[in-house]
Amino acid sequence: MILTVTPNPSLDRTYEVPALERGEVLRATGERMDPGGKGVNVSRALAAAGHRTVAVVPLGGAPGALVAELLAAQGIRVAPVPLTGHTRSNIAIAEPDGTLTKVNAPGPKLSPEESETLLASVGRYDPAPEWIACCGSLPRGLAPEWYAELVTRAHAAGARIALDTSGPSLLAALTARPDVVKPNAEELAGAVGRPLATVGDAVKAARELRESGAGAVLASLGADGQLLVSDDGVWYGTAAVKAVRSDVGAGDASLAGFLAAGGEGPEALAAALAHGAAAVQLPGSEMPTPADLDPSAVTVTADVPLDRALRDLNDPKDPSEQGSPR
């Protein structure tokens, strides 16, 4: 079983409009609601692929109740942490040409008691989960060191932990030695304090994160694929994509595929690429099922093109890049 922890989940509302015009009354041609947050998406991707998962989420108010209802409808076991505040609601405006305009709310402020309850959730399961995936931004009330404490408690409970966050939260958590960290290229550059111009630069930066405490680094490199840097060596992979429909949640699907395949080695990297590539070819934040995966589109090699220049990090062709944690 894989447990996910999402400190700042959301209720995501997406409206389709003919065109986004500032200052005008817009008539939506379609709408949908989805449970949101990076860890939530990892659980959704795991469930879609037939894997057991539990989503630990702080929930409050009517939006929180809807998140729990939507997750349960997808076959996901929800472990809610009750909040006095309300779960945030995010808004996305989708235009016919694929342009997506998003407004992400800051979310509630967690009290010290709510923070402790969320931390304690990782030790409630016997036997311990195979993996605990901790993903996304921290809500108000949680210090950057919060993820480091969560990593420590997860290890004490006997679980391996994968961390997908950035900035001070990532740097603080490295001291607790997470088993896997999953930065994108921009986050990796921010962690080492310098720009990354080539794949070789990314490999060097990933090694520095390992020297700082990360067990392995699974790095998304925009349109240039993904890297896995671990004790076993350095692996590089790409995945062919026929047509991009939506990149929402694709990076989270990629992490789900990686963990479901064991969370280590080239086989897990190949699974990450296959899940990410499948996700971008589906509408909205829909997660891929096994029937959507195309392993033949994936190439993984130990021959890393170290001198290859990194392309635009926001290239929409990337099958797994998701930007900063929400």
Outline where the chain has alpha helix (H). 38-48, 61-73, 112-120, 146-156, 167-174, 185-192, 199-212, 250-260, 265-280
Please report, as a single letter, which amino acid is at residue 61.
Answer: G
| Torsion sign across C-alpha atoms 13, 17, 280, 323 | negative
Closest of 139, 170, 134, 151 to residue 39, by C-alpha = 134
- Three-state secondary structure call for residue 122: helix
Tokens (6 digits) for 68: 């729990």
Residue 252 appears among annotated catalytic residues: yes
Can you tell me the distance from the alpha carbon of 249 to that of 220, in angstroms, rounded to the nearest whole number? Answer: 13
Q: Among 146, 159, 173, 157, which residue's Cα sits nearest to residue 259?
A: 159
- From the list 12, 34, 252, 318, the catalytic residue is 252
What SS3 state is found at 74? coil
Helix (H, G, I), strand (E, B) or coil at 106: coil
How many angstroms separate the CA atoms of 230 and 267, rounded?
Answer: 13
Residues 235 and 324 sit within 8 Å (Cβ to Cβ) = no
Closest alpha carbon to 248 in 102, 64, 72, 77: 102
**Dihedral angle sign, alpha carbons of residues 53, 92, 146, 219:** positive
Structural contact between residues 133 and 42, judged by C-beta atoms closer than 8 angstroms: yes
Q: Please state, as a whole number, how many other Cβ atoms lie within 10 Å of the Cβ of residue 274.
A: 26
Tell me the two tokens of residue 105.
């709310």
* Catalytically annotated residues: 252
